[in-house]
Copies of this chain bind each other. A is one copy, B any other.
């Protein structure tokens, strides 16, 4: 069979796994770009389905624990909505209804028999990025050659989520190789943005972004080596969290660039509220994952750090620093508006806000790129080759096999181990320097502490048209620095407010090109988000400070309304 036939056969197996009665027959035409509210009117979802799927994770967990809803009911409601999301944006890969409902039934029986929940996530459906293995199910990450490789066992994270009572119920789409900030592959095709289907969902956790935005899942797990959780979270307007390396167990997932030990991909949650993010993070750590994944740091959830022991113990005002522009490519007007709203909200809440002075952004960016590129091409070609499928060289709908000179694509030849070590030495030095740069802000904050949290863009634009997400600088620097980073939605592009401003001076040719890309009509309705950046291994404090920022934003928004 040709690789095209193998891919088509797999896609048809996917279609067969969906019950016909869950398919909507009133889908909007492909010319309808904004379909974010379609599920409410789809006729497939009952009022109860809508009530359930529009609840926050905290509410769901409480209503599941009190038996207001059964796990079977909640799982079914989310399945129905996930299938609609899939019809609208093509966000799913694996759908395994029997397995999930049987798990949900077990949880219901357990609760009924014992009066006890199984764990902190009892009955909660969870979607998983395609690479996270579930026993008996494929994880292709968009490689035709990996079709038919059914996982022999669960990833450690899946075992842990199940031990917490969660119900894994779908897997979600990714780009071939995972190393793209958009979502397209030769098996499952392209995932689109539910706020505007002419725009990308982002990637590589793009299926998660689209699915969660449409409330087809209350909580999803993505992975991030250069922005792959944060970019789809931002582009699709959901909360997303990239923890530091080696806190959430990665063992038992399939992956790309395996053995690249210097910049690690990390797993993290996406959800429609911060309580979803916190429930996931605290729940997973409560299971002491270092007993199952040798790379996970033995560090328990710290309630002290969550109570901001290192940031004035919640008794004092915080000092936030905003990075308006990385000095390489200036963000579009909506991104700037999002940052301005955040500044206003934080000042109104009594906090201090100063400007962040970016440090060696170009060098950091080129260093992380060089580490990936040391052997990325060999890695991709080795994975793609067995089926005859070519490695995809562009995410542009009109030019999938042409090299679009995207900066984050690898060079075509690898380097020696010695050359790689020299780059990794540079990486270490940059991390030390950046730490010093951050520590030295204690001189200007007025709190006696260095800046508590950096706030910045996720990209120099909101979700761009397919094939045009070419700039990973705003996320990749934090991967090299291994900083935890939370994405929070702030607003949406509005043609009236986000007008194009005249500019005559540019940082670079890339900056000019990006400026020229902007046109409010193109980006209509795209979510505007911010990124909150904390210190390495300081997840608890970042979650706490994200709650403070989120509440401040909600407070000024309710004032405006």
Contacts and interface: CB of A to CB of B under 8 A. Distances in A.
A168 B537 CA distance: 31
Contacts of A424: 259-261
Contacts of A481: 294
A424 B538 CA distance: 27
Which residue among A259, A299, A431 has the maximum number of chain B CB atoms within 10 Å of its CB?
A259
Contacts of A414: 416-418
A432 interface: yes
Interface string A291-319: 11111011100000000000000000000
Contact of A417 (B297, B374, B427): B374
Interface core residue of A262, A421, A439 (most chain B CB under 10 Å): A421
A59 B348 CA distance: 56
A293 B259 contact: no
A258 B426 CA distance: 10
A251 interface: yes
A486 to B, nearest CB: 17
Interface size, A (range): 35 or more
A162 to B, nearest CB: 18
Contacts of A426: 259
A133 interface: no
Contacts of A385: none
A416 B292 CA distance: 31
Interface string A405-440: 000000000111111111111111001101100010
Contacts of A536: 290, 294, 298
A425 B256 CA distance: 11
A432 B259 contact: no
B428 A259 contact: yes
Given A417-B414, A417-B419, A294 B258 contact: no
In the A-B complex, the 9 residue pairs with the smallest Cβ-Cβ separation, listed nearest first, are A259-B421, A259-B425, A375-B418, A374-B417, A294-B431, A298-B537, A259-B424, A294-B435, A378-B418
Given A259-B421, A414-B418, 6 more contacts: A261-B262, A290-B536, A298-B538, A375-B420, A378-B418, A414-B417
Interface of A: 251, 257-262, 290-295, 297-299, 374-375, 378-379, 414-428, 431-432, 434-435, 439, 481-482, 535-538
